[in-house]
Structure 1
């Protein structure tokens, strides 16, 4: 079996996975629409996907609490996700088959995000990689995936959405089959008792953190579910939509690439305030205009609304005790990025059908609400974005 460095394994796995994610997130709703599904039912299906990821991250992810388990788990989950992408081809005849395909796919797809992050965090903690510079390759691949599938869908039809997602998962599988030198290994002094998720949900600091991130990241629900449909309805082509989504992730990549230079010395409060203001401005503009020049600015703000918020969340998690990190990652992915977005996406399906683009004003209000929540790190420890790279 081939052996590679921690940086190459994690960054290249991110490349394969986020290529598929760059297809899934912006274009799955368009695939559903081309199968004749209504906006309300699309919101329900996309919401079911997020809800399934929530359940998976509450049930599956916490069981994988030793770093030695991360690599085999990522391999098997990637293989299963590929199979369930292909199952969508057989699900076009029935809404319930589409719902089943959505559940099965997200059951495998959901835990990959926190588990691959946990792999990167492990090597960042022992100063073998820089998290931001490793993770940015996933964002670059997301850009490529959304750009490529936008072109292919415009030229050859919506079936290319499934084929392109499958290609990304296949690459992730192939990259994951290599060994890492050194392999991840639990240090005896870190093999402490893993706190129960239920107990952590009683911690006021954790509750405030999850609520704040839920408001900021949850505000993306209408964007994830209906921006592509909305922009297509007003006359923008699929390839233009793909470029717009890619531009958003270009901004995210820039934030990750220069995070240490840009945000050294910034408090957690300042980072979250910046993200909250960005949410209000971005979704207010989205509700107000579809001019291409404005959409470019709107997408550049993704670096603030997602990138800065994610860096702040990672800082909060990395400042906590070692035995709480995987559990916090599971909660972060399960609740703000799973359950909340699932619920809001389903509601946005109804809202978009009733109000159209005005649903984005509700998303803008969430940024205002987020400004009133103050979160402090649990304890002081070096931040993951401050670690020195050794690759």
Structure 2
């Protein structure tokens, strides 16, 4: 039986749902694989000061924390979330083309901020569509999301190779090509009708924090977000630092890629690790490793040393992410989970923006020694995580595998 005209049948999944979502995940990661390591390099070719680079990178982070939830509300209320992907990809492409003709600080700041606003919903809404497939038809989320991480690695390696040939001039054209793919893949995204649950980013606007207001949950999320935020200086200035130290574009791409590869390996092994280590252990250990990572970074480690240090991203991001997500499942009722995830998105965005902005000044004043300040941010995050663990209900204090009824 066919669905009435204008409606989407959801009794069964759309054809090739897993393959199509995997392709959609690849598109924004192709953009991110260029933008994250190399956009600051392009900014540095414009003779911007370090604080101006920090400001250009930080302002879109702050703005999108507030605009992405609004886009999520629109996506949840219209006929199909995938329609917002078309809008997001098209508008992002328009800003990317405009940036090709821009070279001074204020126009770059305005256009990159606009790009941050329109591009911000793309990946979270893709996530929301994928999770709807998990809930409705029991698809394996990791099989879909894995291909996005692989696309990031490929994009970063290609970006490093192009950087070695063309320098910072390759960044905007490569990002523009990536945004073209976001438009095309938006049209192949599965159409599954109106969502049955709000996406996390929209729930931040339309739902109260509810049970996420428990003090241990709040402290855990803020602490973990601070540790995530301690990566701000790394993302903003490390490609510039490594380039100045004589590393080739290919070597810089490889150093970025190995961190993502280590993250993927951890995600693959996370279920097995969780049978041995509690969720709290994962969060605390990852936070402690972050302190060590940023204390070690200012030292001249050589390529092999930085390669090894980049592998620690498996702990400073992936271990913490797995632990936090597991604790949210344990401590937050299902009907409040989306709003809790939205709040965690907010904390991460705000702290990453703040550290990115401050890193402009730190880099100008102290150079690579500014990473010591990032270790202080990570230490503060660890302190809040430990405080959160001490304030949890006693019946959950023993480990990460106990489920609290809700």
Q: For the residues of structure 1 that align with 2:198 and 2:342, how far apart are their CA atoms?
A: 22
Unaligned segments of structure 1, at least 5 residues: 384-391
The range that moved more, 19-28 or 148-157, is: 148-157
1:130 aligns with 2:102: no
- Calculate the TM-score normalised by the size of structure 1: 0.86
Q: Tell which deviates more after alignment, 46-55 or 129-138.
A: 129-138
Task: Indicate whether 1:279 and 2:290 are aligned.
Answer: yes
Given candidates 240, 246, 252, the residue that maps to 1:235 is 246
Whether 2:373 is the aligned partner of 1:365: answer: no
1:314 is matched with which residue: 304, 321, 325? 325
* Paired residues of 1:43 and 1:346 also in contact (CA < 8 A): yes
Quick check: 2:81–2:194 contact (8 Å CA) kept in 1? no
Match of 2:19 in 1: 8
Greater shift in the superposed pair: 213-222 or 155-164: 155-164
Q: Conserved in 1, the CA contact under 8 Å of 2:156 and 2:257?
A: yes
TM-score normalised to structure 2 length:
0.83
User: Residues 221 and 324 of structure 2 are in contact (CA less than 8 Å); yes or no, is this contact kept in structure 1?
Assistant: no
What is the CA-CA distance between 1:312 and the residue it aligns to?
2.6
Task: Identify the match of residue 152 of structure 1 among 162, 187, 198.
Answer: 162
Check the 8 A contact 2:157/2:257 in 1, yes or no: yes
Could you tell me whether the CA contact under 8 Å between 1:20 and 1:169 is conserved in 2? Answer: yes
CA distance in 2: counterparts of 1:20 and 1:208, whole angstroms = 33
* RMSD of aligned residue pairs (Cα, Å): 2.9
Alignment: residue pair count: 373
**Other-structure match for 1:248:** 259
2:312 matched residue in structure 1: 301
Q: Secondary structure at the match of 2:281?
A: helix
Of stretches 242-251 and 154-163 in structure 1, the one that deviates more from structure 2 is 154-163
2:346 to 334, 345, 348: 334
Aligned mates of 1:300, 1:356 — CA distance in 2: 23
> Is contact 1:44-1:349 (8 Å) kept?
yes
Distance 1:189 1:347, change over 3 A: closer
Structure 1 residues 214-229: aligned runs within 5 Å = 214-229=225-240
Cα contact 2:76–2:194 (8 A) shared by 1: no
Separation of aligned partners in 1, 2:268 and 2:297:
26
The alpha-carbon distance between structure 1 residues 147 and 352, as it changes in their structure 2 partners (threshold 3 A), is same
Q: Which has the larger radius of gyration?
A: 2
Answering whether residue 99 of structure 2 is matched by residue 74 of structure 1, we say no
The equivalent of 2:94 in structure 1 is 83
Supply the distance in 1 between the matched residues of 2:101 and 2:338 (Cα, whole angstroms): 36
Q: Is the 8 A contact 1:154 1:239 kept in 2?
A: yes
Distance in 2 (alpha carbons) for counterparts of 1:75 and 1:324: 29
Give 1:118's aligned residue: 128
1:19 to 7, 21, 30: 30
Runs of at least 5 residues in structure 2 that lack an aligned partner in the other structure = 1-13, 401-406
Residue by residue over 1:107-161, the C-alpha shift from the partner in whole angstroms, topping out at 9 and shown as x without a partner, is: 0122223222222222223453222332221111111111111111221232321
How far has the Cα of 1:205 moved from its partner?
4.4
Pairing 1:55-66 to 2, within 5 Å after superposition = 55-65=66-76
Between 242-251 and 274-283, report the one with greater CA deviation. 274-283
- 1:207 to 2:218 alignment: yes
Q: Which protein has greater RCO, CA pairs closer than 8 Å, 6+ apart?
A: 1
Could you say if the C-alpha distance between residues 359 and 188 of structure 1 is closer, same or farther in structure 2, counting changes exceeding 3 Å?
A: closer
- For residues 161 and 110 of structure 1, the distance between their equivalents in structure 2, rounded to whole angstroms, comes to 19
Q: Give, in angstroms, the shift of residue 71 of structure 1.
A: 1.3
